[in-house]
Chain A
Amino acid sequence: MSGEQTVICRCEEITEAEIAAAYAEGYRTVDELKRKLRCGMGPCQGRTCMPLILAQLARLSGKPLAELAPPITRPPLKPTPLEAFRLLEHDPEAEVLAK
Chain B
Amino acid sequence: MKERVEVAIIGGGVVGCSIAYNLARLGVKDVAVYEKSYLASGSTGRCGAGVRAQWGTEMNCRLAVAGIRSFETLPQELDYPDIEFKQGGYLILAFTEAQMDQFRKNVALQNSLGIPSRLVTPAEARAIVPHLGAADLLGATFCGIDGHSNPFKVTDAYAKAARRLGVEINDYTEVKAVAVAGGRVTGLETTHGRVQCGALVNAAGPYSQVIAAMAGLDLPLYSQRHQVLVTEPVGPVQNPMVLSFTHGVYCQQVPHGSFIIGVGDPAEPTGYDIGHSWQFLADISAKVNYLLPPLGKLRVVRQWSGLYNMSPDSQPILGAAGEPANLWQAIGFSGHGFMLAPVVGRIIAQMMTGQTPEIDVHRLDLGRFARGELVLEPSVV
Contact = CB atoms under 8 A, between A and B. Distances in A.
B38 A31 contact: yes
Contacts of A92: none
Contacts of A75: 276, 278, 281, 302-303
Interface residues of B, number: 31
A14 to B, nearest CB: 13
Interface string A65-92: 0000000001110011111111111000
A86 B297 CA distance: 12
A74 B298 CA distance: 17
B152 A35 contact: yes
B29 to A, nearest CB: 23
A85 B38 CA distance: 33
Contacts of B283: 89
B232 A79 contact: yes
B295 A82 contact: yes
Interface string B255-284: 010000000000000000000101101111
Nearest to B274: A72
B183 interface: no
A34 to B, nearest CB: 9
A32 B101 CA distance: 45
A45 B301 contact: yes
Contact of B299 (A35, A81, A86, A88): A81
A16 B300 CA distance: 27
Interface residues of A, number: 26
Contacts, number: 83
Interface in A32-84: 32, 35-36, 38, 41-43, 45, 74-76, 79-84
Contacts of A81: 296-300
A32 B153 CA distance: 12
Contacts of B282: 85-89
A80 B304 contact: no
Given A35-B45, A81-B298, 10 more contacts: A74-B276, A74-B302, A75-B276, A80-B300, A82-B298, A83-B289, A85-B284, A86-B282, A89-B283, A98-B278
The list of the 9 closest CB pairs from A to B, nearest first, reads A83-B296, A79-B299, A88-B282, A85-B285, A89-B282, A85-B281, A86-B285, A35-B152, A98-B278
Interface of B: 38, 40-41, 45, 152, 156, 229, 231-232, 256, 276, 278-279, 281-286, 288-289, 295-304
12 contacts: A41-B302, A74-B303, A74-B304, A75-B302, A82-B284, A82-B288, A82-B299, A83-B289, A85-B278, A85-B300, A86-B289, A89-B282
